[in-house]
């Protein structure tokens, strides 16, 4: 596969606000490039994942939190929508909960329009051992989203612990959504995913969340925490043929853990 990866980092890797973190990340990126730390082909600029994880707090952000000077930084952006959306907390949300969720998401997207985020990552409702995921709520979400003049293809559905990858692929194809592949989440659910399905799903995903399943299955552990089997799977998905290089988000909320992970990422991508 030809092309370059775009490496991405969360907007929170140390204490401080979004601006402090973004400036720090751009400086660290330059240091990585100058030191030739990365051995795989990368785009010249990094991407920052704007972590809007909590609905109420993020809706209250003003220009002090999201100043215009963020658009001047040498990076691109994508947006991660809240984890506590009313419809994300249930396997079968009501139409009202879907509508409330869309309203929150649209307000947050409008708030950061000036950064021109390339994509918007959404946690869809997750299945549980006793309740399968009902994709009908995403059809409702897509209709309401489009009603605000927004394109469904901007949304990338992220697999959750317990997500059925086949179902997400079918739903995204039907409704025009994209996909986001979270490596650790595959290992945190109750369902076993076939390797062929993982490869197919990851090949379609525009953004990958790269991390290891952490203690208490909460994810977000550095890559040196991967088991040998997990490392082998990561190698396979990174080396699998795809039409385009995905954005690789090292979804670790500590710069030290990101640096710990880079040698493993180098080794997993390299074919030599």
- Burial per residue of 4-41, b for 16 or more beta-carbon CB atoms within 10 angstroms, e otherwise: ebbbbbbbbbeeeebbebbeebbebbeebeeeeebebe
Least confident of 9-23, 37-51, 128-142, 255-269: 128-142
Helix ranges (DSSP H) in the chain: 18-34, 55-59, 95-111, 136-147, 165-175, 183-186, 195-204, 228-239, 255-269
Q: Kindly report, residue by residue over 54-82, the tens digit of the pLDDT.
A: 999 999 999 999 999 999 999 999 999 99
pLDDT at residue number 3: 77
Mean pLDDT taken over the chain: 91
Region 159-170 average pLDDT = 87
Pick the CATH number of 6-269 from 3.20.20.150, 3.40.50.300, 3.90.1200.10, 1.10.3720.10: 3.20.20.150
pLDDT at residue number 183: 94
CA atoms within 13 A on the CB side of 143: 8
pLDDT at residue number 268: 96
pLDDT at residue number 217: 52
Model confidence, pTM: 0.94
What is each CA distance from 256 to 4, 249, 261, 262, 264, in whole angstroms? 24, 15, 9, 10, 14
CA–CA distance, 136 with 153 (Å, rounded to integer): 17
pLDDT at 216 over 80: no
SS3 (DSSP) at 20 = helix
Share of the chain above pLDDT 70, in %: 92
Per domain, the residue ranges of the chain are 6-269
Which residues are paired to 156 by β-bridges? Answer: 121, 178
90 vs 187, residue with greater confidence: 187
249 vs 136, residue with greater confidence: 249
Helix ranges (DSSP H) in 35-160: 55-59, 95-111, 136-147
pLDDT at 98 over 70: yes
Region 7-29 average pLDDT = 98
Region 181-201 average pLDDT = 84
pLDDT at residue number 174: 95
SS3 (DSSP) at 247 = strand
Q: Please, what is the end-to-end C-alpha distance for the chain in angstroms? A: 15
Region 261-269 average pLDDT = 96
Least confident of 14-18, 34-38, 85-89, 208-212: 85-89
**∠ Cα 95 97 102 (to 5°):** 95
């Amino acid at each position: 596969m030809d092309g370059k990866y775009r490496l991405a980092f969360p907007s929170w890797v140390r204490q401080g606000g979004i601006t402090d973190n973004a400036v720090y990340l751009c400086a660290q990126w330059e240091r990585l490039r100058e030191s030739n730390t990365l051995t795989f082909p990368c785009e010249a600029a990094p991407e920052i994942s704007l972590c809007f994880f909590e609905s109420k707090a993020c809706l209250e952000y003003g220009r002090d939190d999201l100043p215009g000077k963020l658009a001047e930084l040498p990076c691109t952006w994508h947006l991660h929508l809240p984890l506590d959306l009313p419809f994300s907390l249930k396997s079968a949300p009501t139409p009202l909960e879907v509508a409330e969720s869309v309203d929150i998401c649209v307000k947050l997207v409008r708030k950061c329009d000036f950064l021109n985020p390339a994509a918007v990552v959404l946690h869809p409702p997750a299945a549980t051992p006793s309740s399968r995921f009902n994709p009908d709520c995403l059809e409702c979400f897509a209709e309401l989203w489009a009603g605000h003049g927004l394109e469904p293809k901007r949304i990338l559905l992220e697999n959750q612990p317990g997500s059925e990858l086949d179902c997400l692929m079918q739903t995204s194809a039907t409704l025009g959504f994209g996909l986001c592949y979270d490596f650790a989440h595959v290992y945190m659910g109750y369902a076993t995913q076939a390797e062929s399905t993982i490869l197919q799903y990851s090949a379609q995903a525009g953004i990958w969340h790269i991390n290891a399943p952490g203690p208490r299955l909460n994810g977000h552990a550095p890559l040196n925490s991967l088991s040998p089997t997990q490392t082998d799977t990561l190698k396979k998905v990174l080396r699998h043929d795809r039409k385009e290089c995905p954005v690789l988000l090292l979804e670790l909320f500590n710069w030290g853990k990101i640096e710990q992970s880079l040698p493993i990422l180098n080794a997993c991508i390299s074919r030599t």
